[in-house]
Amino acid sequence: MSPGVRPYRLLFDRVATRMDAERAHHLGFRAVRAGSKVLRHLATPGRPVRALGTTFPNVLGVAAGFDKNAVGIDALGTLGFGHVEIGTVTGLAQPGNPTPRLFRLPEDRAVLNRMGFNNDGAEVVAARLAARARRRGQQEQLRPGPVLGVNIGKSKIVPEDDQAAVEADYERSARLLSPYADYLVVNVSSPNTPGLRSLQAVERLEPLLAHVRRTADAATGGRRVPLLVKIAPDLADSDVDAIADLAVAGHRDGVLDGLIATNTTISRAGLRTPAAEVEALGAGGLSGRPLTARSTEVLRRLRERVGPELTLIGVGGISSVDDARDRLAAGADLLQVYSAFIYEGPAWPRRLVRGAQA
């Protein structure tokens, strides 16, 4: 354990693990935002990466779910992240599922959540992004911020079997948020909104993406915002192939630009945490080290199927430099992390970037 890691590990093991995980997240994120003023002079580590028609400062980003409401984009950038994906944001504000809804599995270096897309809603988040854009425009001395991804999902009250209502709900988010996004992500793969994963079926996904594409194009006044889809690790290989084929066709038709693989899993296979303890925690999506093998497998399968043109973002179980290099070797253009960031602390992103892009 390096000297820079030990203080955080001690704090995490002795303090953070003894409090509610969601409360610990909010306190930790508040500390990141407060500390960003000290770190803002540091150069972003790594080498630039060209993807989605833009230049990313480096290969590593924060996955959606960490900054749901766009309150710490630039603070996360000071930690060394080259891009930040906010959200998931829904058309309507919603409180999410009842608490407790976020749990750690330290033996597995994993996190279980059933948050349920708790967020302030597209209108409030759009106003926050507009204020950020004004602030940055007025302060020329500000360092360039991280590339901004905006992840949008379905509001819980919208019936998943009503395609027109689903499209209208995503339309609201895309219309309000696209003007501020460097790229836009359609999330149809969280396990914590009932029925959401049914939207991954190609016959439902294809018209939804086309509708979001039209909405984004109309909202941005001619600036094309790249569009991606985030998929689940629990899809059968045949369904992964079907989405890959849809992506290729969508890219050819000017609709889609990439895929993000993968979201959290509902599988509980191979965990070190005792089964009774895991069962007591209840339903939810699992992230962290248990996803490493399957997320890499899905990413590799997608790259083999879609070829070199589409952008692929690898996320899920990236816990070490070796994991990051494996995901890049499997075909990822960019990487995202969440759970390992929680376990390893604020100095970890810079170390990972330096090792992955060495």
pLDDT of 256-306, one tens digit each? 999 999 999 999 999 999 999 999 999 999 999 999 999 999 999 999 999
Q: Give all domains of the chain, ordered by start, each with its CATH number.
A: 6-356 (3.20.20.70)
Mean pLDDT, rounded, for 93-100: 98
* Residue 199 token pair: 């939207």
Tell me how many degrees the CA angle 336-325-103 measures, rounded to the nearest 5.
Answer: 40
Binding-site annotation, residues: 64-68, 88, 113-117, 151, 187, 192, 230, 262-264, 288, 317, 338-339
If you count them, how many residues does the chain have? Answer: 358
More confident residue, 116 or 14: 116
More confident residue, 2 or 38: 38
Quickly tell me which residue has 């339309």 as its tokens: 171
Binding-site annotation, residues for substrate: 68, 113-117, 187, 192, 263-264
For residue 185, the model assigns a pLDDT of 98
For residue 16, the model assigns a pLDDT of 66
Peptide bond into 264 cis (omega under 30): no
Mean pLDDT, rounded, for 92-120: 97
- How far is Cα 290 from Cα 233, in angstroms, rounded to an integer? 11
Q: Could you give the 3-state DSSP secondary structure of residue 105?
A: strand
DSSP state letters, 172-206? HHHHHHGGG-SEEEEE---TTSTTGGGGGSHHHHH
- How far is Cα 284 from Cα 315, in angstroms, rounded to an integer? 18
Please give the positions annotated as active site.
Answer: 190
Residue 4 has pLDDT above 60, yes or no: no
Tell me how many degrees the CA angle 142-351-227 measures, rounded to the nearest 5.
Answer: 60
- How far is Cα 91 from Cα 170, in angstroms, rounded to an integer? 6
Binding-site annotation, residues for FMN: 64-68, 88, 151, 187, 230, 262, 288, 317, 338-339
Give the pLDDT band of residue 14 (cuts 50, 70, 90). Answer: low
- How far is Cα 287 from Cα 104, in angstroms, rounded to an integer? 10
- How far is Cα 172 from Cα 169, in angstroms, rounded to an integer? 5
pLDDT tens track for 25-72 = 999 999 999 999 888 889 899 999 999 999 999 999 999 999 999 999
Quickly tell me which residue has 């360092």 as its tokens: 143
